[in-house]
Structure 1
Amino acid sequence: MIIKKLQLHNFGVYAGDNEFIFEGNKPVVLIGGMNGRGKTTFLEAVLLALYGSNSFAYSESKQRSYIQYLRSFVNRGSDDQTCSVELEFEINNEIKENYIVRREWDAVSKRTKEQILVYKDGTYNEFLTNNWPMFVENILPSALSSFFFFDGEKIAELAVDNTNIQLKNSIRSMLGISVLDVLSNDILRNLKKVDKIGSEKKSVEEIQVLREEKESAIEALTTIDAEIEKMNQKLIKDNDSLEALHQLYTAKGGDAVEKRQETLKKRADLMAELSNVEDRLHELMADALPMLLVEDLVVEIKLQATDEHTDSIMQEAVLQLDNIFEDFAVEYLGDKKAGIDFIEYVKKHTEDNQIETVYGLSEQALFQTNNLVEGVLKNTADETKIIIKKKKKLVKQISEFDSYLMLDINDKELKNIHKKIKAAEQAIIDDQVKIAELEQRRGAANSRVMTATSEFGKYVEAYLSTAELKDSSDRIIKYSNIALNVIEKYRIELQKRKTNILAATITDCYLKLANKKNLIQTIVMDPESLDLRYLSENGAEVPKDSLSAGEQQLMVISILWALALCSKKKLPVIIDTPLSRLDSLHRTALITTYFPNAGEQTIILSTDSEIDAGYYQLMKENIGDEFTLNYDENSKSTSIERGYLIGAKL
């Protein structure tokens, strides 16, 4: 995502029409201005254009309502009391797409109403206009926006905060662990559809009981985690969340979408087609598809079993040599020593090269294994790819229709929101005592999960090693439980590996920027809690609160940089007041190392005391566009001029 233009009309200190046009092909955009000249207003304008009432700048403001927030931006020195912000940006995901989002409002009457218009590739788009919040959340969720658009002075506390839930949830989402939860739930739903019958029913029912005990333990742990999260959030006053709930309540009662019946019919047709596709996908999941998760292991089994079969034949042949030679010796009158030596050589060679029997498959089992590897798995994978591609297309089409239908009033949902509003209005009690109690309960619940998971896994392995599956239901249960075991192990290893990668990336970013490299040598992340620990060169933990304000800011920038690198998202970075707490060495590191590599586009909002003439020369080769914010004391307004801090002594 690259920002191409920001156009402001009577917005804050920007009286009349003002626009920033970004034409450079280098990564850094430098916007200079003294304090109070409109740098923070630039950041707020971008956030407002993208997110509207979901902007974190609004939630952090002192305005009591979104309407008051909009009215606060209308330039009071202008006769024209209308105000607008228009943002143009490009997204290049194999196909380059241009978007313009415009918000406009006025302060003429007491009832200010915001109007939003969205254009795609130069053409007005009604669907995006009506569903812009949903669309922008897919590009850059508002919960993550503060990690790409941030004030350098406000982020340092993240480096010492172990309880920052928003940051941890963002990391979990970035790690991609949630897709495994979806897969596990799909398999569990499929298991519930199976009506198990037959002589092995008792064993299967015992597996089901153990599985339900494990799921119950996990559900209890999840419930406790949710309660802990809720109590942590209650430590903060609920004014902002209450305002958001009021807005959501109002939004859910919007006008009905036109052509509802026609849309419902088209959607129903697509849902029927999707149901057929999913039924076929479930059939594949009930058959050999889960085996693709362990395809490498199956191939290994095939190779090992083939070697064992060959070795078995050789062993049988050796056993026959003595008898055959005795028959030969009766009729042969010559020297028999060479023959005896040869037999001994064959025996020794066979014994030396004998391999350990691991699987001991019969010829029929070996044939079935070869057929599984060379035929069934490949055909299943090919068909699954075709079905998944078709399913994605159908889901996308259904999602487009749902976007029109989602605006309908839902009484049940409104009642639920109303209950949340009432809950948010309750006074805050002594939450810290409750949190301590919940943490103790969580320890016990976590032990129960580990025990139940271990018992379930052991029983499933024992059952699968002896059970002879006789019908389709048996196969579904067997392979589904195999898949669930593999997914559980994979989940643990994946989160461990990915957190290790993220922590290593944070360490790498920090060491590139840090001045005192011997203070913190390694940064590690707990794969479960996602807490960060800073280790010195000798492995001792460095207390987070021992970091200076500048070091805290540098650490958070390293975290944000690493998150951007690991997320693979190509998004712009906007930094307001980036160097205020940093010494000269840290500033030089950021200017020469971080700014050119933070993203495809890095917009820096700076004063002359942060990026002076010396620092400007250091970063000039990476600057694509430069602007100066000039403030007129007479008109009390800011105008835009190209070039960095024109008139300043640089």
Structure 2
Amino acid sequence: MIIKSITLNNIGPYEGKNILDFNTKDNKNTILIGGKNGSGKTTFLNSVRLALYGPLAYGFKTVSKDYIKKVQSLLNSNSLKKQYDDIKDHEEQFSIRIDFSIIQDFTRNNVAIIRSWDVDPFPVKEKVSVIKNGIEVSEVEKDKFFSHLRTSFPPSLLELCFFDGEEISHLTDEDHLSHYLQILSSKIFNLDLFQNLESDLNDYLDQSSKSKEQSKLEEEKNSVEEELKRAIRVLEELKTDEESTINELEYNQVRYKEVKNDFAVHGGLAYEERDKIQNRINDIEGDRKHLNEKIKEFIAMELPFFLAYPKLSELVKQLKEEEDFHVSNVLKEKIQHLPTDELVKNIGLNTNDEQEAALKDSLVKYLVSTEEVDIVHNASKTEAQQVYSLLQNTNLERLQMIIRSIEENQELLNELQELRQKLRDNDDSPEFSEMIESMEVFNHKVSELEINLSTIKEEIHEIQNEIDESNRKYEKIKQQLHNIQKTKSSFEQSQKVIQISKKFQKQQLRNKIKDIEYFSTKMFKDLIRKKEFIKYIKINPEDFTLTILDFNNEEINKDILSAGEKELLALSIIWGTIMSSKKELPLILDTLLGRLDNEHKHSIVTKLLPKFGVQNIVLSTDSEIDQKLYEGIKDTTANEYTLNYDSSLRKTKIEHHFFNLVPRKVNLS
């Protein structure tokens, strides 16, 4: 692609119609555009993107509200403020036109894309025209052209043709340069077409071999696998706990029997009586624990409402009055709107307006409560019903039930005290006390372990059922997936195509990298001031890392390069890649020379730019290119402009010179 011109009509600071001619010649491939910061250089770059790609320039797929907002922000504010009468006679009052040539179907075509925006009536509407070799194409042909443009010169490749000083400085870092070179190679050698093919094939495989059903099954399969793993881990832990508990239970049972036998031998019949007492104590403690919990729950949850019973009754009364008041108001409203004349006629009577009003008043009198009620709570039906239920449950029967529980608890406490006293009286004998204490400890431990073992067995049973069910589900899913896999006829072939594509890209890249190495080495040698410094630049085709070799074939540490030399290296690599591609690319270079010293600047304008591309658009400030550099670049310059922003008029004027610089006259005498 070669840009011939761009026309900005009321775009950004460019008020009115402004034309930049970018036509170049074989020996004059540079367009020089000067401008201070804020003069409109960024608007120019954005206009190129917008003219070519429309919504894609801002990352949108189609014309949308957000895209139109972006366009509105780019329109000239002075023109937008004009009255409708001032602009109605002008066509394409707000527009961008870009003229360029492009190879399509092995033929060079001259193309113009015109994007115009109608601002009245609001909202802004966009119109796009494509003129090919002087003839405006149809809508169908326009779609085909933009499809070809996005394929042969996609927005991502255009972005790679924009260079600024900050970006080049950023590329002096080796990792960034390698990554950039990898992306540039993919785009410029059309390898991204194969990558897109691979992506499409993978999408095809996902869509054809991975139906929604299969995707769902695979998700279920993964979920079941994870659940099985978890359940098996839990089962193993439970079985370990079961084994440990059984061992501990057996030990305590044996010890309990040993102590019990000793006690039976020495204590005789007293043991049986004591065992009954101890069992009764255990039962009483269990019953009291249950009663205490009931009493505590009553005290915490219900007792406050028993204490505040009068207030609770008043609250219920108020809620019911409020409810009656609301119902009365609704009923009164409905009575007022009743068609009483029709109702009376239906029963064969005749009435007048006064009688109908009297009938309504009578209905209101007998059906509606007329007492005024202060609305205090305004509770919902659900909230009111909860309060009603609370009052209903706060009754004497409930209170008596709690009192009986308290009395029962006291009776059990008395019995417990008596039984414990019997045990203490019986256990005062020192020869039995130690055995009795041991039996109690072992008996308590046995009971505790039996409960734990029972719980563990239940958990093992539940987890085993869960595992069995998961296994059945897993096998069913596997069978369903197997049946789907059998229907894939193109799966293997698509994978082969992807593998062949990868191999082709790899081989193609290796061949192209050799050309890049040759051209980059040649240019870097010409640009760098140190002669006989390097022999060759090597590029790894796998990760695009750079190696610089000296004339002894030893690697040069790139850290010894100055910042300027690293920038020259990055530019040489970019130039080598462009040369290897043999593509026509418009290269836009913004403040390229800002960080370089004078010698390196001179090398770039005299050695690199004349060869850099078929078309170089150089954007520069007045401090970047001085008189000497201007004289060095003048011979290869096809056109030069200065963007002058008038802050009082808030508009940019395009002037046909470069900061009023002119070549010095050479004295031949």
Normalised-by-shorter TM-score class: 0.3 to 0.5
Greater radius of gyration (CA): 2
Normalization by structure 2: what TM-score?
Answer: 0.46
